[in-house]
Amino acid sequence: MEHCIFNLPDVQASKPSIAINLTRVGVTNVKKLVEIKRKDKRPIVLISTFDVFVDLPSDRKGANLSRNFEAVDEVLEKVLSTPVYEIEQLCSDIAHNLLGRHEYANQAEVRMKSEYMIRRASPSTGIKCQEVVNIFAEASAVRGAGNDDYFDVKKLIGAEVVGMTACPCAQEIMRDKAANELSELGVDRDTIIKFLERVPMATHNQRGRGIISIKVAHDFDVSLESIINIIERSMSSSVYEVLKRSDEKVVVETAHMNPKFVEDCVRAMADNIVREFPDLPDNAVITIKQTNEESIHRHNAFAERVALMGDLRMEINQE
């Protein structure tokens, strides 16, 4: 009996019944193990989650999604022989690879999220501990008009760091109460002023979540460590996994000597970005967010600034 041989149709390449373009088609929540090299240090191993997309023209029913997995795997295999030092460069390489595989697509987009462990020492006793920072990267590649071999690639790097803030408003209320109580007890005005300068007053606290992302062209590198440090420094105090009593004293005192509104944190991050990244191009896109999880309210406080680096630089330098 002869076997019948059928030519399977390429269903994805057929024409859809409703012919409209789609902005993103792809796969999400793809988990991969990523190794990032570091100069003169041990490599970092990350359990990362990828979202991978291409656009889809109106004359095509579906995208070849298996090519997305192939693109991720090929780039990760390449990492084993060619060191990669930045997660945003990894995303950029994947986006570039995607356009090479999806000949019908004009743009590709890759997003990556990971938990990054950093080592910290408590402020007084120096106890070693590890802290988790959420890091993320993105890259987009757009095919050049009239030149299929040219891809315009943009990449983004960012981090979310948890810290602590102390409310300036409530602290002023408590400062005023303390000054009045001391005055009624017969303490002279100069002593009251000196006391209030040396002993921070009570106030309510928030757990703050600061986020910075910086989007640049593919040939510019941004230090992830610097981003993390800027976010930490822009709140009232850092927080730690392990604290002894003397450490707690330092953390509480530091926060209450440095009270900040949610708006203050965003402005401090902006100022620190301008100071720490003097070589960032003017067209770099800076996104800064701060969320304070209130302790005496049911709501959270939020502030954000999105700006080009040139505009941010000009505003702060004028100030």
CATH architecture group of domain 17-167+204-317: Roll (3.10)
Q: What is the full per-residue pLDDT of the chain (319 aa) written as tens digits?
A: 556 655 655 556 567 668 799 999 888 998 988 887 777 777 788 889 999 998 888 887 777 778 777 888 888 777 555 556 688 888 988 888 888 888 888 899 999 999 998 888 999 999 998 888 999 999 999 987 766 667 888 999 999 999 999 999 999 999 999 999 999 999 999 999 999 999 999 999 999 999 999 999 988 889 999 999 999 999 999 999 898 999 999 999 999 999 999 999 999 999 999 999 999 999 999 999 999 998 888 899 999 999 999 999 999 988 6
Query: CA end-to-end span of the chain, whole Å?
Result: 88
State how far the Cα of 88 lies from the Cα of 94, in Å rounded to an integer. 10
- What values do phi and psi take at 4, rounded to 5? -85, 135
pTM: 0.86
Cβ-contact 201, 178 below 8 angstroms: yes
Q: Which residue has the tokens 């359990």?
A: 47
Alpha helices in the chain (DSSP H): 66-79, 87-101, 168-184, 189-198, 224-233, 245-256, 262-276, 309-318
Cα 211 off chain centre by = 5
